[in-house]
Each structure stands twice: as structure tokens, then as C-alpha cells.
């Protein structure tokens, strides 16, 4: 290979976060102070936290919506809310939780943690990362503008046509939902692309694909899944918007097909269920072993089970449509796949059980949340197994049994894992521990409240209570159970409130954490807490999955090198490595902070605002402004050229 001005003699420096090298990197990577600096930041840690905080705000708002309509449902024949108000509230609750909380909160953890666990300094496309956050935030605000105007979605989160078509739903309600979803879809798709590139191309040298943390397996799997699933739902909402505003006939008979909506929606919708739980499962698989003082049992099996779940997740969408009159042969096939998708989940479940059984657990709040998670994981799993059986599903579908199931899956598999992960990674993010005493109360209130609030829904469902009813008559056998459900939901909300109290208390008063409070094994714990803007003062080199435990586990002759490595300080530089073996092959220059992503997101949102009010001049102006911003964003600059290491 001939030497060119792009080649560089590899340098090696010691790991010292107090050295002149560290101050140089700090200067290179730090976000500028002030509001402009804050708005233009492309630091993945900053953006990750914004994602998490925003998602938690949506969680609280969605939770409040539920608390309001739980009062209506606590007793029969209540009229606190009119049917129209109730319909908007339950639709907003579902949409907020599933679309604007459950996935973004996991994205937040991934954006924050992935570069750290992979041993790199930022996401592969930092400005895109900022852009996807802003678009996510604006799409949520866009939806809530609809609510403020009294035009929130009212056809449920899966928004079946023809009820969501214009003749039966003439307001702007559904248009807000359709356009907000397309906007959010842009964010989700681009964000997933960013993860795929980052995880496949920026792992620390030596972190071959079989040494990648299980956390990254979760994010990589669902990001690839998203790239296949998102086009379907975006198209579905786009067709719906065309039907509603321009008189096309994708969905209305006789020329169109109402079931086309259901196919397009669930072809995305079921994979999406796995998209919003697999990263949460992988957070448990990552953190639980640390608290059990041993590596995860069955790393390979769990990693492959994650991938297999996603793949099978694309072959079960019809189980949302068992009652639509499809041919029996299709029902039998999809029913079987829906039952067998339990197998990869069983792999993870028994891996966690074995990890606890053969380990020596540390009984702290994070551990309790993971244990509680396993309990609800199993209950949510078996209720899914029940609904996977076609004939049983003909009775169970669209009753409160399914409501119980989705809450066990979404709260159980997502929220409990997120809570545990919050207790686990909070010290890394803020340098202080969350308070353990408040944490215990937080956990027990949430766990008891959750089960008291949601378990009885299985029973009301078996007793035939349909979902999405704004009230119900007495004498159906549902009264007492519904009162218990409402009480449980308020207990759970009190637990959630304690978490917020704990966060604010611990930010000021929490015990100082130090770099590795849990004595954990992976790369993020080798950095200070919170990590400096550049993450790693020198790029680490890996020889195992557990770089910080190698000496104590005493496995094999090779050791990871964390104390010395490439400084990469000729600018904002990171190392690009090969996809499978993680061999260094390029030095990548990262862009500076920039306001362009924010402006581009604003212009895009304005464009969507123009679409809903049909101000075509605004739409055209936004397209022009967007192209201009793209030109600025993508303008080639020599200082961003790649170099060989």
C-alpha cells in the first residue's frame, strides 16, 4: 500500500482523563455553552437524555389520560366523559404510549449507551441523530396540537377504516394522526439507519460480532427490523390521507378494501411490538448478570433468540385479524407461528432464571425491577400464547383480556425493564446513585399497583367486557373488578410519582457514584461518570465480552487493552472498524455541532402543518427551504474526509 497524505502513523497514548490530551479532546468535543450551543449539540449523550426525558414526559401525559378515563370506568353507567371525549382520550393514550413513549425511550437509552458500550465517541451520523430527535419531539407536539384543537385521533391507535375514513370521521382528527405518524416514521427510519451503521461500523477494535454486548444485539436487531417494517405503516397512513383529502379509493369498497388497511398496519404493527420490547429485554440481559455477579448464561442463545424473534415477528401479523373472515388455512398457519414465537422468548426467560439461580444476586432496586419484570414477562407471555390460538382468540380478541395482555407486555416488558435500566444506568448518566430507600417504595408500589390494576382485566375480559367502551351497564359481573382496576392504576401512578421524586432528589443528594458503581464488566463503566464529551480518552481494544472482569474470571490468555490506545486527536475523530471482526480500517471525522438539523426538522414540521391546513404556498416554501438546508448540510468539506489509521 502506498503512503499518501491521508495515511497516518498509529500513535498510542495512555488512558488518563486528567492529561493534556484529555483537555484537548474536551475542547474538540464539548458542546458550546449557551442556548445556541445547546440547540446545536450533536453529542449522543445529550441527545440520548433528551430522548429519555421527552419520552418520560409523554409517558406521564399518557398515564394521566388513562387515570382520567379509569374514573369513568370505575363504576357502571358513568358520564364524566362524553363518548366523543372518551374516544379521543383512549386513542391518545394508546398512541402516546405505543408510539411516542415506548419506542423513543428505548431509542434514548440506545443513543446514550451504544457509543459507550461499543467503545466509540459518537454515533456514526451525529447531525442525523440530532435531527431524528427534533423530528420525534415535533411529531409529538404536532399530535398534541390536534388534541388542543379538539381534533385528537378518535379511532383507536390502530385506526381501522372505514371508521377512520372521511364519511364516518369528517374532522381533522384522523389527519392529525396520519400526518404525525408519517412525521414520526421519518424519525424512526433515519434513527434506525444510524444505529445499523454505528453498530456495524464503529465497534472498538477487537469487539468482533460475537463479543458485542447483548445490549447492542437488541438495538441492531430492531433497527434492521424497522427498516423493513416502517415503509408499510408510512404507506398505510399516506394512502389514508389521500383517501380522506383527495378522494382516492384505497380503502373504501367496492373499489378499495378495508382489510388492506389492516394488512398494511399490522405488517408493521406486529413487528413493532417486538421493536418496542426487544431492546428492553436486551437491557435486562445486559444489566441483570452484573447484579448476579456472573456473565449472562447462554449469550449466543439469547443473541440468536433476539434475532429469531424479530424474524418470526414479521410472520404473525394475521393474528390481529383472526376474526376478519380469512381462509382457514391462513388462520392455521399464522396461529402456529404465533404459538411458536414463544420459543425464543422462552430462551431468554430461562437464561435469566439460570443467571439468577447460578449467580449471587445483589438485592437492590434495579435487581427488584428485573425480577418483577420476569414475573410480568411470563404472565404477558402466556396470555399471548392464549390469544395465539385462533378459536380461543375469536372469543378473547377485542375484550379486556387483550387489554390486559398488551399492558402486561408493554408495561411489563418495556416499562419495568426501563425502570430497572434507569436505576442501573442513572449513575453513569449523572454521576450519582438513585436513592435506594425511595427506590424500594417506588418498586413495590409500581409492582403491586400494576398487578392489582391489570390482572383483573384478564377476568373482566373472560367475562366478556369489550374493550373501548366508554361505559358499561351493571349486572354484567364487571363492577367490582373495574373498581379494583382503577384503584390499582392509581397505586401504580403513585409509584411512578415516587420515581420522579427520586430522580430530582438524587440529582442533588444522591451518593456519588464513581466510574463503576456496580463493578460491571463492559466498556461504558471504564469511563468517568458522567462520561466526558469525547467518551474515551484513548480507543480501547477488546479481547473478550467482559473487558473489566477478565482478570477475575481468568478466562484465556488474552486481555483487553483499556489503558493504552489511539488518541485520535487531530480533530473530532473516531475509528471505523470492519463489520464482523471489528478490525480498524478507517479514521472517521465527525462533524461539528450544527443548527442545521434543528432548522431542517422545523421546516419539515412546518411542511406537515401546511399539509394539514392545505396552505400549498407554505408547503412549496418549505420544500424549497428544505432543499437549501440539505445543500448546507451535505456540502462537501475537506476536513471531514476519511483517513486510514
Partner 1 sequence: MTRFHLGKGMPTRVVACLALLFSIIPAGALHAEAPLSYLVGYGMRARSIATLTWALMLISAVVVIVVVGLLLAALRRGDSFAAFAPGTQLPVARPAGGASWIYVGVGISTLVLFVMAIWTVVTLAHVANPPRTDSALKIEITGHQWWWEVRYLSPDVSREFTTSNEIHIPLKQAVEVELRGVDVIHSFWVPALIGKTDVIPGQANRTWIEADKPGVYRGQCGEYCGEQHAHMGFEVIASSPEDFQKWWDSQLNTQPGAAPEAAQAQNTFIAKCGICHTVRGIGAGGHLGPDLTHLLGRRTIGAALLPNTRGHRSAWIADPQHLKPGNYMPRLELSGPELTAVSNYLDTLN
- Judged by CB under 8 A, does residue 481 bind partner 1? yes
Among 80, 354, 487, 618, binds partner 1 (CB under 8 A): 354
Rg (Cα) of the chain, in Å, rounded?
25
- Judged by CB under 8 A, does residue 624 bind partner 1? no
CA distance 644 to 5: 10
CA distance 459 to 465: 9
Asked if 432 contacts 414 with a C-beta cutoff of 8 angstroms, the reply is no
- Judged by CB under 8 A, does residue 356 bind partner 1? yes
Neighbours of 625 (CB within 10 A): 17
Q: How far is the CB of 313 from partner 1 (least distance, A)?
A: 16
Count, residues in the chain: 645
Pick the closer one to partner 1 by CB: 350 or 490. 350
Print the SS3 string covering 91-150.
Answer: HHHHHHHHHHHHHHHHHHHHHHHHHHHHCCCCCCCHHHHHHHHHHHHHHHHHHHHHHHCC
Site size with partner 1, rule: CB under 8 A: 115
257-260 contacts: CB < 8 A, separation 24 or more?
Answer: 258/160, 258/161, 258/162, 259/321, 259/324
Among 64, 343, 613, 620, binds partner 1 (CB under 8 A): 343
- Judged by CB under 8 A, does residue 378 bind partner 1? yes
Among 464, 580, 583, 616, binds partner 1 (CB under 8 A): 464
Using CB under 8 A as the binding rule, the residues of this chain from 428 to 447 that contact partner 1 are 433, 436, 440, 444, 447
Find the largest Cα–Cα distance for the chain: 86
Segment near partner 1 (CB under 8 A), from 49-57, 125-133, 214-222, 478-486? Answer: 478-486
Among 194, 383, 414, 527, binds partner 1 (CB under 8 A): 383
- Judged by CB under 8 A, does residue 455 bind partner 1? yes
**DSSP letter string, 444-475:** HHHHHHHHHHHHHHHHHHHTTPBSS-S---SS
Asked if 308 contacts 344 with a C-beta cutoff of 8 angstroms, the reply is yes
- Judged by CB under 8 A, does residue 511 bind partner 1? yes
Q: How far is the CB of 635 from partner 1 (least distance, A)?
A: 48
Print the SS3 string covering 303-356.
Answer: HHHHHHHHHHHCCCHHHHCCCCCCCHHHHHHHHHHHHHCHHHHHHHHHHHHHHH
H helix or E strand, kind and range, residue 265: helix 258-275
Pick the closer one to partner 1 by CB: 67 or 342. 342
Please report how the helices 596-613 and 616-634 are oriented relative to each other, as an axis angle in degrees rounded to 10: 160
Q: 586: which strand partners?
A: 576
Taking residues 280 to 319 in sequence order and writing x for each that binds partner 1 by CB under 8 A, - otherwise, the string is -------------xxx-xx--x------------------
Q: How far is the CB of 185 from partner 1 (least distance, A)?
A: 23
Using CB under 8 A as the binding rule, the residues of this chain from 516 to 555 that contact partner 1 are 517-519, 521, 549, 552-553, 555
Pick the closer one to partner 1 by CB: 3 or 508. 508
- Judged by CB under 8 A, does residue 84 bind partner 1? yes
Pick the closer one to partner 1 by CB: 141 or 483. 483
Q: How far is the CB of 506 from partner 1 (least distance, A)?
A: 14
Using CB under 8 A as the binding rule, the residues of this chain from 147 to 206 that contact partner 1 are 155-156, 160, 162-163, 168
Residue recorded with cell 473516531: 574
Among 127, 244, 270, 467, binds partner 1 (CB under 8 A): 467
Taking residues 45 to 74 in sequence order and writing x for each that binds partner 1 by CB under 8 A, - otherwise, the string is ------------------------------
Amino acid at each position: 500500500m502506498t503512503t499518501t497524505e491521508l495515511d497516518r502513523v498509529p500513535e498510542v497514548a495512555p488512558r488518563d482523563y486528567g492529561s493534556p490530551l484529555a483537555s484537548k479532546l474536551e475542547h474538540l468535543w464539548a458542546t458550546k455553552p449557551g442556548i445556541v450551543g445547546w440547540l446545536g449539540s450533536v453529542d449522543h449523550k445529550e441527545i440520548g437524555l433528551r430522548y429519555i426525558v421527552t419520552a418520560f414526559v409523554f409517558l406521564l401525559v399518557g398515564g394521566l389520560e388513562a387515570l382520567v378515563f379509569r374514573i369513568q370506568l370505575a363504576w357502571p353507567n358513568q358520564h364524566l366523559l362524553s363518548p366523543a371525549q372518551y374516544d379521543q382520550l383512549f386513542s391518545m393514550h394508546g398512541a402516546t404510549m405505543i408510539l411516542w413513549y415506548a419506542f423513543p425511550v428505548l431509542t434514548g437509552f440506545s443513543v446514550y449507551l451504544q457509543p459507550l458500550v461499543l467503545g466509540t465517541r459518537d454515533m456514526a451520523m451525529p447531525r442525523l441523530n440530532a435531527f431524528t430527535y427534533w423530528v420525534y419531539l415535533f411529531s409529538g407536539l404536532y399530535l398534541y396540537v390536534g388534541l388542543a384543537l379538539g381534533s385528537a385521533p378518535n379511532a383507536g391507535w390502530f385506526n381501522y377504516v372505514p371508521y377512520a375514513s372521511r364519511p364516518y370521521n369528517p374532522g381533522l382528527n384522523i389527519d392529525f394522526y396520519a400526518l404525525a405518524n408519517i412525521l414520526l416514521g421519518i424519525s424512526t427510519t433515519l434513527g434506525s439507519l444510524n444505529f445499523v451503521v454505528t453498530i456495524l461500523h464503529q465497534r472498538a477494535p477487537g469487539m468482533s460480532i460475537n463479543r458485542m454486548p447483548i445490549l447492542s444485539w437488541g438495538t441492531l436487531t430492531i433497527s434492521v427490523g424497522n427498516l423493513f417494517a416502517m415503509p408499510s405503516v408510512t404507506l398505510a397512513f399516506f394512502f389514508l390521507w389521500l383517501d380522506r383529502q383527495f378522494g382516492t379509493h384505497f380503502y373504501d369498497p367496492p373499489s378499495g378494501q378495508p382489510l388492506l388497511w389492516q394488512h398494511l398496519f399490522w405488517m408493521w404493527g406486529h413487528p413493532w411490538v417486538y421493536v418496542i420490547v426487544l431492546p428492553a429485554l436486551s437491557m435486562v440481559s445486559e444489566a441483570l448478570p452484573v447484579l448476579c455477579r456472573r456473565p449472562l448464561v447462554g449469550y449466543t442463545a439469547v443473541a440468536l433468540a433476539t434475532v429469531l424473534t424479530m424474524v418470526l415477528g414479521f410472520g404473525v401479523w394475521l393474528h390481529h385479524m383472526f376474526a376478519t373472515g380469512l381462509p382457514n388455512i391462513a388462520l392455521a398457519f399464522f396461529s402456529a407461528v404465533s404459538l411458536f414465537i414463544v420459543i425464543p422468548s422462552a430462551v431468554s426467560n430461562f437464561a435469566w432464571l439460570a443467571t439468577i439461580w447460578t449467580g449471587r444476586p445483589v438485592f437492590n432496586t434495579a435487581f427488584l425491577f428485573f425480577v418483577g419484570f420476569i414475573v410480568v414477562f411470563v404472565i404477558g407471555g402466556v396470555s399471548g400464547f392464549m390469544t395465539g390460538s385462533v378459536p380461543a382468540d375469536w372469543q378473547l380478541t377485542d375484550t379486556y383480556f387483550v387489554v390486559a395482555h398488551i399492558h402486561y407486555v408493554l408495561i411489563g416488558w418495556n416499562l419495568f425493564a426501563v425502570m430497572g435500566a434507569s436505576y442501573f444506568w442513572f449513575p453513569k448518566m449523572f454521576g450519582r446513585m438513585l436513592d435506594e430507600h425511595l427506590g424500594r417504595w417506588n418498586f413495590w408500589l409500581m409492582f403491586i399497583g400494576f398487578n392489582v390494576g391489570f390482572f383483573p382485566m384478564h377476568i373482566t375480559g373472560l367475562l366478556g367486557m369489550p374493550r373501548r367502551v366508554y361505559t358499561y351497564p351493571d349486572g354484567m359481573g364487571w363492577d367490582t373488578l373495574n373498581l379494583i382496576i382503577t384503584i390499582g392504576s392509581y397505586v401504580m401512578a403513585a409509584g411512578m410519582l415516587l420515581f420522579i421524586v427520586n430522580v430530582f432528589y438524587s440529582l442533588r443528594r444522591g451518593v456519588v457514584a464513581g466510574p463503576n458503581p456496580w463493578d460491571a464488566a463492559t466498556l461504558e463503566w471504564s469511563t468517568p461518570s458522567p462520561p466526558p464529551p469525547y467518551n474515551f480518552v484513548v480507543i480501547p481494544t477488546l479481547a473478550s465480552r467482559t473487558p473489566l472482569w477478565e482478570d477475575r474470571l481468568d478466562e484465556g490468555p488474552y486481555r483487553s487493552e483499556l489503558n493504552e490506545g489511539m488518541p485520535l486527536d487531530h480533530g473530532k475523530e473516531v475509528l471505523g472498524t470492519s463489520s464482523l471482526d471489528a478490525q480498524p480500517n478507517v479514521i472517521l471525522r465527525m462533524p461539528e455541532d450544527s443548527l442545521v438539523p434543528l432548522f431542517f426538522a422545523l421546516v419539515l414540521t412546518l411542511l406537515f402543518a401546511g399539509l394539514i391546513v392545505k396552505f400549498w404556498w407554505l408547503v412549496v416554501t418549505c420544500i424549497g427551504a428544505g432543499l437549501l438546508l440539505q445543500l448546507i448540510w451535505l456540502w462537501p468539506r475537506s476536513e471531514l474526509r476519511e483517513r486510514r489509521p
